Amino acid sequence: MSAVSTDVTDGRRGRTAVGHSGGGFVGAFTSEWTKLWTVRTPYVCLLVGLIVTAIFTFYYGSIARINDKPIQPLGNASVSSAVLTQFAPVILAMTTVTSEYSTNSVRTSLLWVPVRPRVQSAKALLSALVGFVTGVGWAVLGMALAWGPFRGHASFELSEAAYQTVAMGVYFALICVLTVGVSFALRTAVGAVAVIFFVVSALPGMLVGLGGPVLLAINEYMPQTVGGYFMLIDGKAPFPDAVSLLILLVWAAAAHVVGHFVLRRRDA
């Protein structure tokens, strides 16, 4: 009996040790990774973004040639496409949160990972990684497809291309973190999409359209506007790239804090 008891105890200890080694933040992140790639939504989002990138960058290069625009960095074609393509990883990041609330499976996630901030951080990190890789990949693809249509109306310098490629990845990553925070705060797909689209895209257009020194000054600090300054190489940015990056980080952090507050205060 003692031998059997020892074996059982050892087995329990072994299982406990194994369970413990797979827990914590690593376990939460691994769980989120598995959940993300076992549904259809991320593949659809990435495919749509890929197609839009290909069409937009080819069109951008063609228009620049037809209108005989001044020579510009090749990466500007990919960066300009981000106005549209950013919403593919945004929707992907949003669904990692809102899909669980719509099916009440968030209760299971919080039961498995009772430390709530850990769940949010795992989703934010996963979305940021996917956003970064997506931004880098689409930047490279866009430059490759736009080079032909430009026909001499674009310049290629490795340092500039590398910077714009990484910058586009960073911008996508931070927009995804912002999206996760907003999604935790609102918990519904409709609400999250409406707020993110308004803040990222619609509001800057409204501020520029209405004009005036105050509204134009506010627009300078909106995520999409700052992201454009951070990614584009055109000498029109009102502040250094490091400041642009800092502003984007503040937006992402603010959304993350708001989402964290709601997640801790409200029941699942």
Helices of type H across 104-211:
106-112, 116-150, 158-186, 189-197, 203-210
44-89 tens-digit pLDDT? 999 999 999 999 999 999 999 999 999 999 999 999 999 999 999 9
pLDDT tops 90 at residue 17: no
Determine if the pTM surpasses 0.85: yes
Domain ranges across the chain: 24-265
62 vs 235: which has the higher pLDDT: 62
123-163 tens-digit pLDDT? 999 999 999 999 999 999 999 999 999 998 999 999 999 99
Is residue 148 a contact partner of residue 88, using CB atoms and an 8 Å limit? no
